[in-house]
Every structure is written in C-alpha cells, then in structure tokens.
Amino acid sequence: MRCLVTSARPYDQQSLSAANDGHHELVFVDTVLNADTAFIAQGYPALCPFVDDTLDAKTLETIARLGTKLLVLRSTGFNHVDIPVAEKQGITVMRVRDYSPYAVAEYAVGLMLTLNRHLHKAYNRVRDGNFLLDGLLGFDMHGKTVGIVGTGKIGAALARILHGMGCHLLGYDTVPNPTCQELGVAYVSLETLLAKSQIVSLHIPLFPETRHLMNAERLALMSEGAMLINTSRGPLIDTAALIAALKSRHLGALGLDVYEEEANLYFKNHCDDIICDDSFERLLTFPNVVITGHQAFFTREAMKTITDTTIQNLDDYSVGRDSPNLVSANRTAQ
C-alpha cells in the first residue's frame, strides 16, 4: 500500500523501513496531521499517524474526500481519532493493540522512584559538588499502598513489579483483571483508592467520561502528601486543579509523562522558543514535580513491536484479513 507516515521522526523512519517487507510504499513526513495539514493525504490510501496528530471530524472528512481508506495508528491509544466519524467516512482504523506494557509500567516505577528518592535533585547536586543529603530523604516502597487506576495490560504489568517490591495494591477498573487479583490487588471504588493510597498511578484510556477524572474534588480525596503519576493521557487530569493541589501542598509529588496540552509542545525542540503555556511553565517550577515528554513507550522492544505490528496491519488490510487491531466505535468489541 502507498502509506504516508505523518509526524515521522528519524527513529520512526529507521524502524519502519527496517520492518517493511518491501510490499508497501512508505513515505515519511515530519508534518503533524490536523485539519490545516490534511491536504497532504492526497494520493495516499493509507496514513500512519502518531499520537500528536489530530484526526478530528474536519481532518477525517478531508482525508476521506482525498481518498484515504485506512489509518494505521502507531499507538495503543486512539483518543486522537474521532472513531465514529472515521466509521461514517468509511475509513478503517487499526492500532497497535499490544506492545510492551513493560515499557510504560517500568517507566511509571521510574517516575515513582525518582520522586521518592529525589534522584532529579541528587543528579544535579553531585554535579555541583554538593554531597549533602538534606532534602533527599525518601521512603521504602515496601509496605506502601499504591493505587492503580486502570488495571489492563499496563496496569497489570505495574502490579507485577510493585508486588515484587512488597507494596500493597489497590485497583480501580470497570472490569477486574484476574491476573491482578491473583497478585492480591484489592478492587475498591475510586474514592477509596484515592483516600488509601500513598501513590496513585493512572493507566486508563482517555475517553469523554475519563477526561478530568482527576479534578479538584478527586485530588482533594487523595491522602495528604501522596504522589500522583500519569503515564496514560494528559487530559485525565485537570491541570488548573493540579497546580492548585501542588500550591496548597496537599499533593506531595507529581510525575507526568503526558500533559493536557502536550500537542503544542511535545516531540519538538523548543529550546530557542519562548514557551507560552503558563500552566506548563508553572508545573516546572515545583521541586516535587518531574515531567517528561511522552517517552514511556520508547524502548527498543516496544518500537520493534509497534513497527512490526504497523506493517502487519498494512498487510492484513491489503489482503482483507481479519485483525484484532481493528478499532471500532463499539468499545466492547475492542
């Protein structure tokens, strides 16, 4: 298939070209796909977008008019695509349903340990020749209660690691995961999880009903001084409420790999720009906040699976083979 890979970075080009069996004509552009740039789809029956591309109704209508029939997403999350509109426009959407859940789960643990043991401060101190330990006091993870919000593939991988560290685990999900139950995860209401956990880690997808799941009210339910980790999607947290919770010192630590307005910032180099997102800049001023630019997925193993699956999705579509990676507006079919 002739496929335009949008928001393509050098590593995408390298890994997708290596995975391509030669059957598909892949064209790489670093353009971010949205309603303003949708005209680039002209001549491409398939597009391969990433999470910073926006496939809203307007974009989908344009690309459908230009002849695009297939979207092969280089991601698990599909919140950046208006799926009902894609269906209406006759565009098939496929994703990478399963890639290393370990990449994201291990990264969430990395954020927890960084914040708990103040590694971000220690790194700079030692480089400055300052070997004082004041302000670096942490806590044992062993025996602490961690609340996992969303116990699907990534949540379960996280549960396994934290179980090994001797944590007590609470889970919140609409569908309890037997693997987590075997590990001793106790399923409770979101309110109970927030109140009882010293660390809360978010692993549910972004849907209209989960947008601002962590609002002012829910942040207030968290126990005093608790840590919040978000490696799922930025809009799960209301940023204004988050800043207020940090300023009041109610929230003790925050680790973000995703940010509500990341589309304007992430995956680009702004080092010579003035960043005008005041909320983002405010978050950076807190000593108990660590922010990274949506890199939790970024391991060799995950990239290989993402690219292999993307090529497999193109193969399956071209020969009309059924695939577990099809995304449908009917969520129970996912």
Residues that bind ligand NAD (CB under 6 A): 76-77, 101, 104, 150-155, 173-175, 203-207, 209-210, 231-233, 257-258, 294, 296-297
Taking the least distance from each CB to ligand NAD, the nearer of 16 and 303 is 303
Instruction: From the candidates 65, 262, 300, 301, give the one annotated as an active-site residue.
Output: 262
Residue 195 phi, psi dihedral angles, 5° rounding: -70, -30
Taking the least distance from each CB to ligand NAD, the nearer of 144 and 294 is 294
Q: How many helices (H) and strands (E) does the chain have?
A: 12, 12
Instruction: From the candidates 74, 95, 118, 233, give the one annotated as an active-site residue.
Output: 233
Burial of 78 by CB count in 10 Å (0-12 exposed, 13-18 middle, 19+ buried)? buried
Instruction: From the candidates 25, 294, 321, 331, give the one annotated as an active-site residue.
Output: 294
In whole angstroms, the minimum distance from the beta carbon of 94 to ligand NAD comes to: 15
What is the C-alpha to C-alpha distance for residues 224 and 215, in angstroms, rounded to an integer? 16
Nearest to 195 by CA among 246, 147, 162: 147
Nearest to 227 by CA among 75, 114, 130, 64: 114
Is residue 262 flagged as an active site residue?
A: yes
In whole angstroms, the minimum distance from the beta carbon of 329 to ligand NAD comes to: 15
In whole angstroms, the minimum distance from the beta carbon of 175 to ligand NAD comes to: 4
In whole angstroms, the minimum distance from the beta carbon of 152 to ligand NAD comes to: 2
Report the residue number whose CB is nearest to ligand NAD. Answer: 152
Taking the least distance from each CB to ligand NAD, the nearer of 24 and 233 is 233
Taking the least distance from each CB to ligand NAD, the nearer of 95 and 168 is 95
Is residue 294 flagged as an active site residue?
A: yes
Radius of gyration of the chain (CA): 21
The distance of Cα 132 from the centroid of its chain, to the nearest Å, equals 35
Taking the least distance from each CB to ligand NAD, the nearer of 170 and 258 is 258
Beta strands in the chain (DSSP E): 2-5, 25-28, 46-48, 70-72, 92-94, 145-149, 168-172, 186-187, 199-202, 227-230, 253-256, 289-291
In whole angstroms, the minimum distance from the beta carbon of 292 to ligand NAD comes to: 9
Beta strands in 182-317 (DSSP E): 186-187, 199-202, 227-230, 253-256, 289-291
Active site residues: 233, 262, 294
